[in-house]
Structure 1
Amino acid sequence: MREVTAYNWVPDFAQGFVKDLRVRWALEEAGLTYTERLIDHEQKLQPEHMARQPFAQVPVYKDDGVEMFESAAIVLHIAQGSDALMPKDAAARARVTSWCFAALNSIEPYVMNVTGTQLFHADAPWAEGYLASARGMLDMRLNQLSGWLKGQDYLEAGRFTAADLLMASVLRELERDGTLGHFPELEAYCQQCLSRPAFRRALEAQLAVFAKAEVPAGV
């Protein structure tokens, strides 16, 4: 049985954005069932968990053949065995894999420079100047991505793949402050991906865990 390790509670701003959501979404797209292994923020620092995830994070994934960490690596593992997430043609698979890494390396760092500053350092004296620069770099990347998507529904292979799952997971962070609305091509693309039933099921599964959780004392 496939198992996904996830948190049993996170603060409101993180609910619906913890990266086990990517794995849940991939499993839903692939039509694969899984169980949850829920941990709290003390357990993530214990030797048992850190032997499975050296950086004290989630998700961790286990199936009959592997145990692994890092959400995108897990998504690619699932995709390799799923026609729903990866085309069969070798050249197309290579291109989809390239776009998976592009989502993480060419887009996500620029997104997190902006959203991370807004979430955790908004009141810092340096934040305003830094955000102006970070937004400029992000806008450059988003314009490049928008140009690629112009006239096509998905990144590669003419259909939804693991690359779109990862790219949409990154872009939806920009819905927090309306940035995506300045890029109509990307907004439409993101909404198309997020309207998939598999995403809705994955999101509902993550949120259901938090809805049942007790808020830790002192929070």
Structure 2
Amino acid sequence: MNLDFSRLKGNDSYHAMIQTIIPRPIAWVLSENDSGNYNIAPFSFFNAVCANPPLIMFSVAPATDNRGEKDTLYNIRQRRQFVVHIADASLAEQVTQTAASLPRNHSEAGASSLTMSKMTKFALPRISQAKVALGCQLHQLQTIGHEGTQTLIFGQIMQAYIDDDIGYINEQGRIIINPQKLMPLARLGGDIYQLPGDILTIERPK
């Protein structure tokens, strides 16, 4: 099979990409809306992009209804803070539920039985059930694609919560996280998720 992407429509390109660029990490993003409620939504066009300053990036498509832009983008544009969670296998159902489109200013937290915990040095709370949470300050918004079809949200990590059961700091001061204990969800095509399986360790050349 050879695909000529210059001949594919946007939706066809999307489906080809999400089934070949796999697995993809999931940014499970909490933001605050105009009513003071917490919007929660998953995004799988997501990764780390810089260490100094510590930046993450995720890509947001337009809303499919008449709102124009998704609640997550609107909230971050207004308040400039958000929390990115790394969800594990036990949260797969809740992650999927928070992908539903709710009216603006409604909260996905209540609809998915999620609870909040305070972060020590960050204004927004984190999802209590998630083992990793990254409190982020908006660094930059960038619109890309034909007719502005995607918005890249760059966030600078200001504080990280890591569950003590999955990680520690070694004698050299390096943070070590056990991926088998974290069991992070990864996104495949369609409605399919992936969990960590066998882990391969290969030493890099000197």
Under a length normalisation based on structure 1, what TM-score does the superposition of the two structures give? 0.25
Instruction: Report the structure, 1 or 2, having the larger strand content.
Output: 2
- Higher RCO, 1 vs 2 (CA within 8 Å, ≥6 residues apart): 1
Instruction: Report the structure, 1 or 2, having the larger helix content.
Output: 1
Under a length normalisation based on structure 2, what TM-score does the superposition of the two structures give? 0.26
